Amino acid sequence: MYKIAITMLLGDKGKYLGIVSGIALASILMIQQPSILLTMLSHTYSLITDISLPDIWVMDPQVRSSEDSRALLDTEVYRVRGVQGVQWAVPLHKGSQSVRLSNGELENATILGLDDATLIGGPGEVADGTLADLRLPDAVIVDESGARNRLARRSDIPGQPPIPLKVGDTLEINEKRAVVVGIARATPTFRSDPIIYTTYNKAKNFNTSDRKMVTFVLAKAKPGENPEEVARRITAATGLAALTADQFKQKSLDFMFQHTGMLINFGFVVVVGFVVGTAVTGQIFYNFTLDNLRYFGVFKAMGATNRLLLGMILLQALLVGLIGFGIGAGLTSLFALSTHSGDNIKLELGLPLLAGSGAAVLLIVLVAAFISARKVLKLEPAVVFKS
Amino acid sequence: MHETTNIQGHPVHAPVVVCRGLTKSYGSGETKTLALRGIDLSVSPGELLMLVGPSGCGKTTLISVIAGILDQDGGTCQLFGQDVSRFSPRERVRFRGKNIGFVFQAFNLVPTLTVAENVAIPLLIGGSRRDEALRRAAWQLEQVGLGGRERDLPGQFSGGQQQRVAIARALVHDPRLVVCDEPTSALDHKTGTKVLEMLKSLAVADNRALVIVTHDQRIFQYADRIAHMDDGMIQETVRQQ
């Protein structure tokens, strides 16, 4: 009889497609929106993700997230180096500067000034050029997205796409000459500004207005030392905020949740997707059951138990749930894949996200099955004798 | 000859249906309606009994009680020597599925299933394997003159053919009692008489009992007995020549 249940479901093409479409749409909303949210959130701590070498981030106690920057004196680096358990500590400058393009237009860019000696904090992957070339005079490395988009040279021919920055091109940063020696792959920042890597001393040259230039002190715990314990020692010794990388990521996330509407806005869309999916699926599935109520009555008259009928309805619900979720997840995956080729936000669909959305879809179809099953289980088989 | 068996599987040689003092009402208080007012009725193996009467006289209620679909309020109704009202709901459902076949006025064939699948339903409900059930259904369809059309959908058949499919479904699991509710009212005279002829020849053979509710005087000639009902009571029972 379970095969009969499937045949009955697939035979009513209109309702079957309606139910599957409703579930697919709900699945898309419940997967895609959280995916966008999670990806955007990951951009809030992209700096911490990309600079993976240090265990500990030392900063001004007023700093609220990795997008925040409150400068420290250069001497703070030495104070951190002097704390027990610290293997090394280097400065990192993070600031924002105006970049003048070849056509005279100005763009804001994030400047990262890396320790001159070690270049710690540099991009993980330099697609064109080498990281070591940053030591050359006026040298900068630009992130790939920035080089292709906002820092790209406008074509002289109208309608033509901009010409990406390449190695050898020059920029003007705060009226100082900069030469592009490399193009790097980096995680986009939350604001999607272009990222320009240079050395710490050159960053000082580009930014002559600020007296304090150290944004973060990056530190590494000695082998065998607990980074959290070392961080506590740094705080005690210097009065600065010292956090492990994970702690700093969490702090940045907490700031985003508390001070932006991202969670509420995206969460609202997810809830709407769930509610609409439930309503549409439940309504159409209920109508499908109503259309077949007479036949369920016939089955009852012919000896079908309530357990068998319930099993048939559950199977129908689970089948449409599986197909609808498969279509929704598949379409969302294709969409996410398409974002990887461009320069826009690149969506990632992790297993926990898919599992969570799958659980939500399961809940939707179980609710739909329950509503329909109630009607069938209460059905008097004598109804089949009514014409 | 088929032996009727009780729920324990012991053979029973007795009238298929025996009703004594059967009463059934709907509603309560001022809206209470007595649908059956003390019915005495029996149906023997191999007999075709027709229940006739005006609309609302209680015919459908009576066959619902006989088939174990509705509980009576008073009196007794025994099927194959057993009081079905004493069964648990699960036992009653199983008993009905094993021993009773149904033919409905509106055919009630599932439009999205092939006719073979429709006919096989009583066997599938009873737990038969799908391939075996479809094989048996194909054989039954041959018996009603529709062999070779197993894969067609009900919508591809005329009214008379659909009723023949319904008859095949009612007989496929070899029931002891076949209950029919207005089986010819949706058919023209010629088709209706053909259907009745087929029903009688197939169903009553091998000692099955057949109970038919009908308004259709054109088919009275096929009955062994006709019970005239009115106002919830059997007014008279006439044996046909």
**Interchain CB contact of B126 with A (< 8 Å):** yes
Record the tokens describing residue B201, joined without a space: 């020849």
Q: Does the pLDDT at position A174 exceed 60?
A: yes
d(CA A344, CA A14): 38
Which burial class, exposed, middle or buried, applies to B27 when counting CB atoms under 10 A from its CB (0-12, 13-18, 19+)? Answer: exposed
SS (H, E, C) chain B: CCCEECCCCCEECCCCEEEEEEEEEECCHHHCEEEEEEEEEEECCCCEEEEECCCCCCHHHHHHHHCCCCCCCEEEEEECCEEHHHCCHHHHHHHHHHHEEEECCCCCCCCCCCHHHHHHHHHHHCCCCHHHHHHHHHHHHHHCCCCCCCCCCHHHCCHHHHHHHHHHHHHCCCCCEEEEECCCCCCCHHHHHHHHHHHHHHHCHHHCEEEEECCCHHHHHHCCEEEEEECCEEEEEEECC
Residues 289-328 of A with CB under 8 A from B: 292, 294-295, 298-305, 308
Cα of B241 to nearest chain A Cα, Å? 30
Q: What residues of chain A lie within 8 A of the CB of B113, using their CB?
A: 4, 7-8, 11
> What digits encode the pLDDT tens for the residues A277-299?
888 888 888 888 888 888 998 99
How many Cα atoms occupy the beta-carbon half-sphere of A162 within 13 Å? 16
Q: Say yes or no: ipTM exceeds 0.85.
A: yes
d(CA A366, CA A316): 10
Q: What is the largest CA-CA distance in chain A?
A: 95
Backbone region of residue B181 per phi and psi (left: phi > 0; alpha: psi in -120 to 50; beta: other values): beta
Instruction: Read off the pLDDT band of B27 (50, 70, 90).
Output: confident
**Interchain CB contact of A13 with B (< 8 Å):** no
- Residue A215: partners with Cβ closer than 8 Å, 6 or more residues away: A59, A69, A70, A71, A72, A92, A93, A94, A95
User: In what side-by-side order are the strands of the sheet with B74-79?
Assistant: B33-43, B17-26, B74-79, B82-83
Mean pLDDT score across all residues of chain A: 87
- State the average pLDDT over residues B63-85: 88
Contact B102 A4 (CB under 8 A): no
**Residue A284: predicted pLDDT:** 86
The shortest CB-CB distance from A385 to any of B94, B181, B185 is to B181
**Residue B10: predicted pLDDT:** 47
How many Cα atoms occupy the beta-carbon half-sphere of B232 within 13 Å? 13
**Residue B8: predicted pLDDT:** 47
Cα of A324 to nearest chain B Cα, Å? 22
* Structural contact between residues A323 and A22, judged by C-beta atoms closer than 8 angstroms: no
Interface A-B: count of C-beta contacts within 8 A: 78
Backbone region of residue B177 per phi and psi (left: phi > 0; alpha: psi in -120 to 50; beta: other values): beta
Beta strands, E only, chain A:
56-59, 86-100, 106-114, 125-129, 139-143, 170-173, 176-185, 195-199, 216-221, 241-244
* Structural contact between residues B220 and B235, judged by C-beta atoms closer than 8 angstroms: no
**Residue B226: predicted pLDDT:** 93
- Nearest C-alpha neighbor of B181 from the set B220, B225, B216: B216
Q: At what angle do helices A351-377 and A293-301 cross, to 10 degrees?
A: 60
Q: Does the pLDDT at position A91 exceed 70?
A: yes
**Interchain CB contact of A276 with B (< 8 Å):** no
**Interchain CB contact of B108 with A (< 8 Å):** yes
Contact B63 A295 (CB under 8 A): no
Q: What residues of chain B lie within 8 A of the CB of A386, using their CB?
A: 60
CA-CA-CA-CA torsion for B133, B138, B143, B144, nearest 10 degrees?
100
Contact B111 A10 (CB under 8 A): no
Q: At what angle do helices A262-291 and A306-339 cross, to 10 degrees?
A: 140
Paired strand residues for A126: A184
**Interchain CB contact of A152 with B (< 8 Å):** no
Nearest CA in chain A to B213: A385
Nearest CA in chain B to A308: B125
**Interchain CB contact of A12 with B (< 8 Å):** yes
d(CA A256, CA A265): 13
Record the tokens describing residue A354, joined without a space: 């898919």
- Please give the single-letter amino acid code of residue B112: T
**Interchain CB contact of B69 with A (< 8 Å):** yes
The separation between CA A172 and the C-alpha centre of its own chain, rounded to angstroms, equals 32
Record the tokens describing residue A238, joined without a space: 């210097």
> What digits encode the pLDDT tens for the residues A115-159?
999 998 888 888 888 888 989 999 999 998 888 888 888 777 778
* Structural contact between residues B23 and B77, judged by C-beta atoms closer than 8 angstroms: no
**Interchain CB contact of B125 with A (< 8 Å):** yes
Q: What residues of chain A lie within 8 A of the CB of B96, using their CB?
A: 301-303
**Residue B3: predicted pLDDT:** 52
Question: Quick one: DSSP state of residue A8?
Answer: H
Record the tokens describing residue A337, joined without a space: 């894949």
- State the average pLDDT over residues A61-87: 90
**Residue B1: predicted pLDDT:** 40
Contact B102 A301 (CB under 8 A): yes
The shortest CB-CB distance from B117 to any of A7, A301, A305 is to A7
Encode burial over A271-295: b for 16+ CB neighbours within 10 A, e otherwise. eebbeebbebbbebbbbbbeebbbb
Torsion over CA: B169, B162, B227, A300 (sign): positive
Record the tokens describing residue A68, joined without a space: 């925040």
d(CA B153, CA B145): 16
Record the tokens describing residue A384, joined without a space: 């089949």
Nearest CA in chain B to A298: B108
**Interchain CB contact of A10 with B (< 8 Å):** yes
* Structural contact between residues A147 and A164, judged by C-beta atoms closer than 8 angstroms: yes
* Structural contact between residues B162 and B194, judged by C-beta atoms closer than 8 angstroms: no
Q: Does the pLDDT at position A9 exceed 70?
A: yes
* Structural contact between residues B41 and B177, judged by C-beta atoms closer than 8 angstroms: no
Record the tokens describing residue A353, joined without a space: 């996200």
**Residue A260: predicted pLDDT:** 78
Q: What residues of chain B lie within 8 A of the CB of A6, using their CB?
A: none
Q: What residues of chain B lie within 8 A of the CB of A10, using their CB?
A: 112
Mean pLDDT score across all residues of chain B: 87
Question: Quick one: DSSP state of residue A261?
Answer: S
Greater pLDDT, A137 or A161: A137
The shortest CB-CB distance from A7 to any of B90, B105, B113 is to B113
d(CA A112, CA A121): 8
- Nearest C-alpha neighbor of B61 from the set B175, B191, B229, B198: B229
**Interchain CB contact of B227 with A (< 8 Å):** no
The separation between CA A121 and the C-alpha centre of its own chain, rounded to angstroms, equals 22
Record the tokens describing residue A164, joined without a space: 């990406």
Record the tokens describing residue B167, joined without a space: 């008859």
pTM, entire model:
0.76
**Residue B104: predicted pLDDT:** 87
**Interchain CB contact of B174 with A (< 8 Å):** no
Q: What residues of chain B lie within 8 A of the CB of A300, using their CB?
A: 93
- C-alpha R_g of chain A: 29
- Please give the single-letter amino acid code of residue B119: V
Q: Does the pLDDT at position A342 exceed 70?
A: no
